[in-house]
């Protein structure tokens, strides 16, 4: 079944199953407008005040089952619009096949989750916010470990990491020029772990994203923020050193992020790191990874040449 037909079929099924679905149509359209227009260009999990207030009002108006139905209908409507966008890009040859494939795969998976949803699905959490952003193509899925969204490089963050790195940060911004305002921020997808989180999975993700960037000359590169890019990981978790070594070998730069993560952070789920933390020998901290367009594409060409 074609994706558009699948979306219509699921929507029809929800309308037949839930009498209140038709009454939600105007709310769904408001939700769609917020996501496609107000959230476009913003970080997927940072909602402006007007959306927050509107969502609070909606949540007080409906019970939990109705809210979940509203979210499903909104996702379906967003995907329907986005399928048309991808088809147009495909005809204009603006997107590589890997990008189109990733969108289709994610939308198919999301449709399956809408049909098979349990009580833990489609609640107001980070995973739903990612689904919402991807359904609107405010964030793009990959076939591997991360999603990515168009974002400007956070200049203030890389200039607040100490005097020693200020010169490096300044040189980086000079080399990027205006393209620093047009980059992709990567976000790990928590529903994709092994084998995607292993070295080959990360390599495949970077290669796929390089195909996209190669067709977009205005994109200055990629960046992200994560605890596993911290330099101390080579000492405390050497088996995970590939997470930083791989992009670093390709010319990526790393800057320590401000702030200290708390004792409930996911980094401390590992027994060894938890023991080191309890002993005062390790504190989970985040680092910002920046991989410029030129360096990333050079690395990707070398990697592909190895397999030829």
Q: Model-level pTM greater than 0.85?
A: yes
Question: Whole-angstrom Cα distance, residue 284 to residue 268?
Answer: 8
Walk along the chain (308 residues) and give the pLDDT tens digit of each residue: 689 999 999 999 999 988 888 999 999 999 999 999 999 999 999 999 999 999 999 999 999 889 999 999 999 999 999 999 998 887 777 899 999 999 999 999 999 999 986 656 888 899 999 999 999 999 999 999 999 999 999 887 787 666 777 888 888 988 999 999 999 999 999 888 778 999 999 999 999 999 999 999 999 999 999 999 999 888 889 999 999 999 999 999 999 887 667 778 888 888 999 999 999 888 888 899 999 999 999 999 999 998 77
108's tokens: 């198919």
- Give the tens place of pLDDT for each residue, 217-257: 999 999 999 999 999 888 889 999 999 999 999 999 999 88
Question: Whole-angstrom Cα distance, residue 20 to residue 197?
Answer: 41
Helices (H), 116-180: 126-135, 155-158, 166-176
CB 43 within 8 A of CB 151: yes
CB 168 within 8 A of CB 253: yes
163's tokens: 């005097």
CB 3 within 8 A of CB 109: no
How many other CB atoms are found less than 10 A from the CB of residue 179? 17
Question: Whole-angstrom Cα distance, residue 107 to residue 105?
Answer: 6
Backbone angles phi, psi at 221, to 5 degrees: 140, -155
122: phi > 0 → left, psi -120 to 50 → alpha, else beta; which? left
């Amino acid at each position: 079944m074609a994706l558009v037909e699948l979306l219509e079929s699921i929507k029809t099924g929800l309308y037949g199953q839930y009498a209140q679905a038709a009454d939600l149509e105007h709310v769904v359209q408001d939700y769609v407008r917020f996501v496609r227009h107000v959230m476009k260009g913003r970080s997927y999990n940072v909602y402006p005040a007007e959306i927050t207030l509107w969502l609070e009002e909606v949540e007080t108006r409906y019970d939990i089952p109705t809210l979940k139905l509203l979210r499903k209908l909104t996702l379906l409507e967003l995907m329907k619009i986005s399928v048309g966008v991808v088809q147009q890009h495909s005809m204009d040859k603006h997107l590589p096949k890997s990008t189109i494939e990733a969108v289709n795969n994610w939308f198919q998976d999301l449709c399956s989750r809408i049909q098979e949803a349990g009580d833990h699905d489609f609640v107001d959490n980070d995973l739903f916010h990612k689904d919402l952003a991807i359904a609107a193509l405010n964030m793009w899925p990959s076939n591997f470990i991360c999603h990515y969204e168009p974002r400007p490089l956070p200049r203030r963050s890389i200039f607040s990491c100490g005097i020693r790195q200020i010169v490096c940060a300044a040189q980086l911004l000079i080399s990027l020029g205006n393209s620093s305002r047009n980059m992709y921020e990567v976000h790990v997808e928590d529903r994709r772990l092994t084998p995607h989180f292993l070295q080959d999975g990360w390599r495949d993700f970077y290669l796929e994203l390089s195909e996209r960037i190669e067709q977009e000359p205005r994109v200055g590169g990629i960046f992200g923020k994560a605890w596993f890019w911290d330099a101390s990981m080579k000492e405390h978790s050497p088996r995970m050193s590939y997470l930083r070594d791989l992009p670093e070998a390709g010319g990526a730069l790393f800057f320590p992020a401000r702030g200290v993560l708390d004792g409930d952070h996911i980094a401390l789920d590992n027994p060894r790191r938890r023991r080191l933390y309890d002993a005062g020998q390790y504190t989970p901290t985040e680092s910002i990874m920046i991989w410029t367009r030129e360096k990333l594409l050079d690395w990707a060409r070398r990697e592909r040449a190895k397999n030829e």
